[in-house]
Chain A
């Protein structure tokens, strides 16, 4: 069965510092992988997605993620965090050709001024 693990419930970084949010998945084949961001009181906004091809994926707002098959990981990174990045981040895996997403439990990011 598919599953997604986000091991960090909370992360705090200083503004301008680099960021890495971890995501590990379990899936028998090559999955579709997504990172979403959710600001307080808002729905989920897609940051980036991986379907195939280049394993380094660029997204919106300066985010990128790298798919590492050997580690079953899809970690999200940003070189310099802005205060407006404070939000909750969700990793999700979708099975190829299906509708189903499995979400992780999320990582709440706090940014210190």
Chain B
């Protein structure tokens, strides 16, 4: 079974430029998450999708960040314009539909963003 796929793996941009990250979850997983992991920290949730619906985007900085999951499968996270503080690893995770509270998440390899 293929795992969570993310691209690109690395991205270097100058501040004020736009950037986009792509994620393809495990087949059949309804729930998709985007996390940001700053250096020396644990991942922090940015947004969660149930199918194509963003059910929790309370931690997403909406002035510059946006995300979509149009067909309820793959997803794109965008930053426009990027700031120096956005340098981090952006992780995508997916999980099957919650059943009895079982909510294991499977993570992709992440995209390491460097903003110069």
Q: Which residues of B contact A103 (CB under 8 A)?
A: 42-44
B112 CB, nearest partner CB in chain A, Å: 8
Complex-state Cα separation, A94 to B33, whole angstroms: 14
Quick check: B104 and A90 within 8 Å, CB to CB?
no
State whether the Cβ of B82 lies closer than 8 Å to any Cβ in chain A. Answer: no
Q: Which residues of B contact A49 (CB under 8 A)?
A: 104
Interface size on B, residues (CB 8 A): 29
Known: A51-B102, A105-B40. Contact between A99 and B95, CB under 8 A?
yes
State whether the Cβ of B110 lies closer than 8 Å to any Cβ in chain A. Answer: yes
Quick check: A101 and B105 within 8 Å, CB to CB?
yes
Cβ-Cβ contact count across A and B, 8 Å cutoff: 60
State whether the Cβ of B34 lies closer than 8 Å to any Cβ in chain A. Answer: no
**What 0/1 pattern do residues 32 to 67 of A give for CB contact below 8 A with B?**
101010000111111001010000000000000000
A32 contact from B56, B101, B106, Cβ within 8 A: B101
Residue on B with the closest CB to A104?
A: B42
**What 0/1 pattern do residues 103 to 116 of B give for CB contact below 8 A with A?**
11111111010000
State whether the Cβ of B31 lies closer than 8 Å to any Cβ in chain A. Answer: yes
Quick check: A99 and B41 within 8 Å, CB to CB?
no
Q: Which residues of B contact A34 (CB under 8 A)?
A: 104
Quick check: A94 and B42 within 8 Å, CB to CB?
no
State whether the Cβ of B91 lies closer than 8 Å to any Cβ in chain A. Answer: yes
State whether the Cβ of A97 lies closer than 8 Å to any Cβ in chain B. Answer: yes
B43 contact from A44, A96, A98, Cβ within 8 A: A44
State whether the Cβ of B45 lies closer than 8 Å to any Cβ in chain A. Answer: yes
Quick check: A97 and B105 within 8 Å, CB to CB?
no
Q: Which residues of A contact B4 (CB under 8 A)?
A: 43
